[in-house]
Amino acid sequence: MDSIVTQQSPPSIIEKYRLELACQRARARLDTIAGADFHLQQIAEDLEQRLAVIKKSFRKSLLLAPRYSGFVDAVGESMATEALQLDESELHNEQLPVDDFDFDIIVSIGQLHLINDVPGMLSQLKQRLRPDGLLLACVPGANTIANIRECWMTAEAEVTGGLSSRFLPLFDVRTAGSLLQRAGFTLPVTDIDEVSVSYRDTGQIFADLRSMAATNVLVGSQGHAVTRQMWEKFNGKIAAQRDARGKLPVSYELIWMSG
């Protein structure tokens, strides 16, 4: 997948109204469906472990994350700090609604891939950090649900002879490091955490993607209509992905960035 940050002036590929609707639906699912927050639990546990090994104390923090108690708990338990939290709905215009420029740490969870101008947002975050402040961010990586995406794109190409824009372009770990350097962060560090999940059917996968607000929010993404033939082709290719237990193995790649 091409990176969304390869051009000097990134095009607006994310439709903000559709993104807001996707986030609203995701929040509703998290509140009403048991287990829909499994991905947030995983990230919160990883965040807590990463903060626990930091020896430095932080007085003031900014948390950019979905409204999930695990993130607040992770930040609060790991460091005594004055904390401000913003959720994804407050970043859709891609301007940080924060006047403070002296945060000791900024934690961003699952936000940067929903921004058209990633370098611009990273620059805004750096401006709001103290000179020795820390940014810690987590985004889905380019290999997230790679086998599912490949099956769908192959099926669509075989039926229609082309591809529609249905997936957000995600960057890889190397690009993540380059973005930190481009924004002026020193000592940039990036690494990958992979979460493997087995599903009974594709319906479960798509349900989890809706809970992650990861449905299609691309501008001009209507493309080819999903037909029965396309769906049957997709399911035929998915069948070859099943393991010995008949389950569908899927990997969610998480890229952690710090600087």
Per-residue pLDDT of the chain (259 residues; tens, 9 = 90+): 333 333 333 456 767 767 777 777 766 676 667 666 777 888 888 988 888 888 787 888 888 888 777 777 777 766 656 777 877 667 767 888 888 888 999 999 888 888 888 889 999 999 999 988 999 999 888 898 888 889 988 988 888 887 777 777 788 999 999 999 999 999 899 999 998 888 888 888 888 777 776 767 666 655 677 788 988 888 888 888 888 898 989 888 999 999 9
Angle at 204 between CA 156 and CA 91, to 5 degrees: 80
- Residue 240 is predicted with a pLDDT of 87
Q: What does the block give as tokens for 76?
A: 């609060």
Helix (H, G, I), strand (E, B) or coil at 110: coil
Crossing angle of helices 202-211 and 38-52, rounded to 10°: 60
Q: What does the block give as tokens for 254?
A: 């998480």
Helix (H, G, I), strand (E, B) or coil at 252: strand
Tokens 């402040």: give the residue. Answer: 133
| CA nearest to 62, candidates 127, 117, 12, 152 | 127
